[in-house]
Structure 1
Amino acid sequence: MTKTNDKKTAQQSYIEWNVDFSEPVTIKGGSLPYSDTPMVGVKRMMFERRGDEVARRATSCVRYAPGSEFKPHSHPGGEEYIVLDGTFSDQQGDFSQGWYVRNPVGSVHAPFTKDGCEIFVKLSQVPAEEEDYVYIDTNAATWTDIDKNHQQLQLWSSSVEDTTLHRFKEGYHSQSEEFQDVVEIFVLSGELSINGENYQHHSWLRLPAQSSLAIDVHKNSVIYRKVGTGEVRH
C-alpha cells in the first residue's frame, strides 16, 4: 500500500525521513507545511532526508523571502535544483524560473535572492565521478516531441540515473509503463493522475523498482522524472 505522509509526521524528525527505497511514497501538493530553516527568511517543504542540517541526502522545496540568503557552504555530495518561481542567485549568476542547475561534489556557493524565489532541490545525490557543472534554461532549450501531446527534455543521463522533464497537454493518456529502477516524480505545474490518483503542483512521488506508471493529464502539466536513486558513491 502506498504510504501518504501528513503534517504531524513530517515535523517529527529530519534524521530518517522517507529514505527506504523499497517503500512507495506519495506526497500530494499542499499536504506538507513549509518549516523554518536556520537562515532567516528561508523555509522548506521536506520530501526526504537522511541526516540533520548537514544532510547526507535530501529532497525538498525551498522558499526564499525577498532579500534572504544562505551563508557560504559546500555540497559534499553535490546538488541539483530547478527554479520554480522568482530568481535564485549565487556566485555563478542569476537563475530565473525554469533554470535547471547541477553542481558537482565539493561545489561551494552562497545563494541569495533579491525579490524572492522557490526551488525544488536535491542534495547529496551526485556521484563523485561526475565533475561537470550543468546549466539548462528549460524555457529556451529544444524539447523532443514524443507525440502531439508529450514533449521531453533530457536534463542528465548516466549509468545510475536518467533525469528528464516532461510536458503534457490536457487529455494525454499513457499506457502503463514499468520501470526497472526506482522512479521519482515531482509535479512542477498542472494537474494529472498517476495510477488513478490525482496530483497537482508540488506533489512528489517515489516508487520502488519494478513499479508501473500510467498517466492521465487533466490540465497542461510539467513533471520532473528521475529513474535511478542517484546514490552517492564515495
Structure 2
Amino acid sequence: MNLNADFEQRVVLHTATARWQDSPQPGVQRIPLDRVGDEVARATSLVRFIPGSSFPEHVHGGGEEILVLDGVFSDESGDYPAGSYLRNPPGSRHTPGSAEGCTLLVKLWQFAPDDHTELRLDTRRLPWHSAGEVEGLALLSLHEHGSEQVALLRLQPGTRCQAQSFPGGEELFVLEGGLSDEAGDYPAGTWLRNPRGSRYRRHSAEGALLYVKTGHIGAPTCWDAAGDGARPAGRLRPACPQQG
C-alpha cells in the first residue's frame, strides 16, 4: 500500500474530518497520513487506542516516534500523558496499550540508520525559548540528528513570521489553534508535508501550537537501509501488526 508516497509533492490533510480505520489489532484504529509498504511500512499515522486496548509485545525494526495527543499511553517503561514525546530506536521492543484510551501521532521506520537515540520527554515540564527575532514565537526543541530537527512551536495570537525556506522539507501538525500561509488556512488537526525547497510566510490570528519536523524529507532512513528483502522477514518483522 502506498499513500502520499511521492515526497516531492505537497500534502495537506484535515484529520478532524477524516474517517478512522480499524487496524488488524482489535480496539486500535488509525488515520493513515503517509505510507510506503503493507502492514510493515514506513508510515505516519494518527493512532487511537480505545480504553483497555493493547498490542502484544513487538519489535520496532526501524524505530518509532510518538507524540501523545490526548489520554494516557503506556508500556513497560511507564505511563505517558498528553504532551509526551517518545522515541523508540531501531531494535527496541515494548507492549503498548492504554487503560483510559489515547490518541497518538506515530511515525515508523523513519529513524536515520545511525540514530539510536531513546527519548521519554514530558513537554509540559520542559522550558520554552524565544525563536529568533519573531515576536510571539516560542520553540521547544525535542530532537536533533544530522539535518533532522523536531520541535514544538507556539505562536501567540497575531504572530506573523518572516518567510522561511525548508531546503530539507518540512512536516507539520497543528495541535491547537490555527495557522495560515499564502496557500491556505490550517485549523487544529491539520497535517502538512512540504517538499524540499518549500518556502512559506506563516501567521496565526488566533494563536497556534504546532509539532514541526524539518530537514528529513529525502534523507536516508532505516526503511531504505533495510531493503525490500529484509523488511518483512527475520528479526525486523514485528511479532504483531505495527501500531502505525
Q: TM-score, normalised by structure 2?
A: 0.86
Tell me by how many angstroms 1:160 deviates.
Answer: 3.5
Tell me by how many angstroms 1:179 deviates.
Answer: 1.2
Q: Distance in 2 between matches of 1:45 and 1:217?
A: 26
Q: Distance in 2 between matches of 1:29 and 1:223?
A: 14
Structure 2 CA distance for partners of 1:136 and 1:65, relative to 1, 3 Å: same
Render the CA deviation track for 1:176-208: whole Å, top value 9, x for unaligned. 211111111111111121334111122111111
Q: Distance in 2 between matches of 1:220 and 1:68?
A: 34
Query: Is residue 74 from structure 1 mapped to residue 66 from structure 2 by the alignment?
Result: no
Q: Distance in 1 between matches of 2:115 and 2:26?
A: 32
Higher relative contact order (CA 8 A, sep 6+): 2
| Equivalent residue in structure 2 for 1:106, among 77, 84, 91 | 91
**Contact map agreement 2:71 2:101 (CA 8 A) in 1:** yes
**Contact map agreement 2:148 2:213 (CA 8 A) in 1:** yes
Q: Structure 2 stretches of 5 or more lacking a match?
A: 226-244
Give the secondary structure class of the aligned counterpart of 1:49: strand
**Contact map agreement 2:178 2:206 (CA 8 A) in 1:** yes
What letter corresponds to residue 220 of structure 1 in structure 2?
Answer: G
Tell me by how many angstroms 1:78 deviates.
Answer: 0.2
1:11 corresponds in structure 2 to none
Tell me by how many angstroms 1:210 deviates.
Answer: 0.9
Q: How does 1:50-89 map to 2 (within 5 A)?
A: 50-55=36-41, 57-89=42-74
What letter corresponds to residue 117 of structure 1 in structure 2?
Answer: C
Query: Is residue 194 from structure 1 mapped to residue 181 from structure 2 by the alignment?
Result: yes
1:182 corresponds in structure 2 to 169
| Equivalent residue in structure 2 for 1:232, among 174, 196, 221 | 221
Render the CA deviation track for 1:90-145: whole Å, top value 9, x for unaligned. 01110001010011001111101111100111000012322221111111001111
What letter corresponds to residue 89 of structure 1 in structure 2?
Answer: S
1:210 corresponds in structure 2 to 197
What letter corresponds to residue 166 of structure 1 in structure 2?
Answer: L
1:151 corresponds in structure 2 to 138
What letter corresponds to residue 112 of structure 2 in structure 1?
Answer: P
| Equivalent residue in structure 1 for 2:2, among 11, 16, 20 | 16
Q: Distance in 1 between matches of 2:57 and 2:181?
A: 39
Q: Distance in 1 between matches of 2:164 and 2:114?
A: 30
Q: How does 1:111-150 map to 2 (within 5 A)?
A: 111-146=96-131, 147-150=134-137
How many residue pairs match? The answer is: 219
Give the secondary structure class of the aligned counterpart of 1:139: helix
Tell me by how many angstroms 1:148 deviates.
Answer: 4.0
Q: Structure 1 stretches of 5 or more lacking a match?
A: 1-14
Q: Distance in 2 between matches of 1:219 and 1:101?
A: 29
Give the secondary structure class of the aligned counterpart of 1:170: coil
What letter corresponds to residue 26 of structure 1 in structure 2?
Answer: V
What letter corresponds to residue 142 of structure 2 in structure 1?
Answer: L
Q: Distance in 2 between matches of 1:29 and 1:215?
A: 20
Which aligned segments of 4 or more residues in structure 1 are displaced greater than 3 angstroms?
Answer: none
Q: Distance in 2 between matches of 1:218 and 1:196?
A: 16
Percent identity for Structure 1 against Structure 2: 37
Q: Distance in 2 between matches of 1:38 and 1:21?
A: 27
Give the secondary structure class of the aligned counterpart of 2:98: coil
Q: TM-score, normalised by structure 1?
A: 0.89
Give the secondary structure class of the aligned counterpart of 2:16: coil
